[in-house]
Structure 1
Amino acid sequence: MNQQDVKKESVEFNKLEKKLRRNVGNAIVDYNMVEDGDVIMACISGGKDSFAMLDILLKLKQVAPIKFDVIAVNLDQKQPGFPEHILPEYFEALGVPYYIIDKDTYSVVKEKIPEGKTTCGLCSRLRRGTLYSFAEKIGATKVALGHHMDDIVETMFLNMFHGARLKAMPPKLLSDDKRNIVIRPLAYCREKDLISYAEKREFPIIPCNLCGSQENLQRQNVKAMLNEWDRQHSQRVYSIFKSIQNVSPSQLADEALYAFKDLAIDRSGERKEYEYSSEEISSSGTGTEVQYFDINNL
């Protein structure tokens, strides 16, 4: 690679890094994800997304106008062949405080889930319970997960197609027992940008052999659908994500969110003119012209 190519590559990487940092910064501000004095437990799986999240959080920590701490935590689920040395060595090189939690959730998942069935649901519940309790033990005030915009949109479609629910993953979440707050700093980041960033940063990616080997996962089908949409319309995924930030309950059908049964007309005030409201009657089956009634006198 000649000097000009090296310079071009460096410029492109700087643009990408600034874009990701800006997106993370905007998400943090919009949802008040990080506050002064926070202890953020960054959950690192060994995948590209969690590596990028940790990398960007540590960079923002250096320039942020508030003070917060970041602690890296990995849950070693005892998957066969998992390279246990990679993450401790990486964290040591970064100089970031870290913990490795040993918990054999792999055996539990393999025991409970029949061969060929999706393991993600049970696996994520086991991880979540372990990480929530550990966050309390180390005094973490926020639990940071590496889900990005594509993950959030994919989850919405999965819930629609397979759960009959209009539900995604929020950028910020209070746990059901109200003892933990989960944040997703990458909520405004696209997966394709994170892939490029991980390649440039040469993160020591660890594949998930427990679920990643299941080629026919429902999520993979939804991902393929969104990738096709992305090829046809580059802003499609972004538009879908923006839609879950711009919800109109009265235009949906959930009676718990909007009191459809209590709707009633109110013609007591002066009516504003509707656009194109004038009409000409060419025929009528009532035998009379249209009469306007005062509902209060009925």
Structure 2
Amino acid sequence: MTDIKRTRLFYHLKKWIEKAVMDYRMIEKGDRVLVGVSGGADSLALLDLLNSPMVFVPEFHLVAVHIDLGFEEDSAGYDRLDRFLKEGGYDCVLERTEIGPLSHSAYNKKNPCFLCSRLRRKRLFEIAQEKGCNRIALAHHQDDIIETLLINMFYGREISTMMPDQPIFGGTKHIIRPLAYIREELVKKYSREREFPILESACPTGPVSRRRYIKDLLNQLERDNKDIRANIFKAMGHVKMDYLPGLPASRRPVSGRMEMVVNDCGLDR
């Protein structure tokens, strides 16, 4: 593979990754960071960028983890990814599963994405525990965060999205998203420059998912307003609670906080 990492795009992405990491204190010195590697362009770009020298981020250890979903069409890609990670000298775990066929089986056909995402996350958390990792890095970029906000509003009836740094298990582990400030098109462009061995998803639900619908809707809106995505992302940092109706007093929960799990494809990039 031609080493073209140190291009203008490389330095641009590194700058925004380090800014996100520092803004949200995603990584501390000595952390063990599990990177979820689906084999798609986003996750391979994240792994590659995190594996290159950092200027402002303290030293940490990377563990690359790939959970194969078990679709037959992915078998050749699994072997290519295995070679790529081992030739790159990564500390890595690759595991074959039957999560995909199980999630799309007859008894679960109404909601395959929810079960698939839940089982993948569960296994990632288990491997993180086994490998002593306290950070789990996922390759969700700015577009994913924007799309999830709209998915939750349109279908979940709440205003929420992915967090750049999300503590879990009482704060003993964190899900981090170092690509939170970076647009999808730049991540894809970097992956093309680096000529990564991309695994094309064999999931039958992907082309008709809610996320695909939202992405197409945003693309359509962007034709009239090129800043539509940037405006939505910035709006999440300018929430005026005094100008949101909220629940009437008679319907407010007595205690606790209601949360939803995003029921959609594309959660592990």
Q: Aligned Cα RMSD in Å? A: 2.2
Is the aligned partner of 1:120 residue 2:113? yes
- Pair 1:29–1:173, CA change in 2 (3 A): same
CA distance in 1, matches of 2:11, 2:108: 42
Q: How big is each residue's C-alpha offset from its partner over 1:121-164, in whole Å with a ceiling of 9 and x where there is no partner? A: 22111111111121111100100000000011001101111111
- State how many pairs are aligned: 243
For normalisation by structure 2, the TM-score amounts to 0.83
From 62, 65, 70, the counterpart of 1:78: 70
In 1, are the aligned partners of 2:38 and 2:67 still within 8 Å (CA)? yes
Say which of 90, 100, 107 aligns to 1:106.
100
AA in 2 matched with 1:140: C
Q: Which residue does 1:132 correspond to in 2?
A: 125
Q: 1:295 maps to which residue?
A: none
Other-structure match for 1:191: 184
Amino acid at match of 1:147: H
- Would the aligned equivalents of 1:21 and 1:60 in 2 still touch at CA under 8 Å? no
Which of 33, 39, 48 is residue 32 of structure 2 equivalent to? 39
Structure 2 counterparts to residues 134-173 of structure 1, below 5 A: 134-173=127-166
One of 218, 221, 225 as aligned partner of 2:217: 225
- Measured after TM superposition, the shift of residue 255 of structure 1 is 4.9
Corresponding residue of 2:193: 200
Q: 1:246 aligns with which of 218, 238, 251?
A: 238
- 1:3 maps to none
Hey, what's the Cα distance between the residues in 2 that align with 1:59 and 1:172?
A: 21
Q: CA deviation at 1:65?
A: 5.2
Question: Is 1:118–1:217's contact at 8 Å kept on the other side of the alignment?
Answer: no
TM-superposed deviation, 1:242: 1.6
Q: Which runs of 5+ in 1 are unaligned?
A: 1-9, 261-298
Going from structure 1 to structure 2, the CA distance change for 1:65 and 1:47 (only over 3 Å counts) comes to closer
Structure 2 unaligned segments of length 5 or more: list them.
Answer: 253-269
Q: Is the 8 A contact 1:49 1:147 kept in 2?
A: yes
User: For 1:194-213, what per-residue CA distance to the aligned partner results, in whole angstroms no more than 9, with x for missing partners?
Assistant: 111111111111011114x5
Given that 2:21 and 2:57 are in contact with CA atoms closer than 8 Å, whether structure 1 keeps it comes out as: no
Higher relative contact order, structure no. (Cα contacts within 8 Å, ≥ 6 residues apart): 2
Aligned residue for 2:66, secondary structure, equals: strand
- 1:237 maps to amino acid: R
Equivalent residue for 1:89? 83
CA contact (8 A) 1:52 1:198 kept: yes
Q: Per-residue deviation at 1:185? A: 0.5
1:233 deviates by 2.6
- When residues 22 and 231 of structure 1 are mapped into structure 2, their CA distance, relative to the original with a 3 A threshold, is farther
Contact 2:134 2:172 in 1 (8 A): no
Shift of 1:108: 1.6
1:102 is displaced (CA, Å) by: 2.6
SS of residue paired to 2:64: strand
User: Is contact 1:78–1:104 with CA below 8 Å preserved after alignment?
Assistant: yes
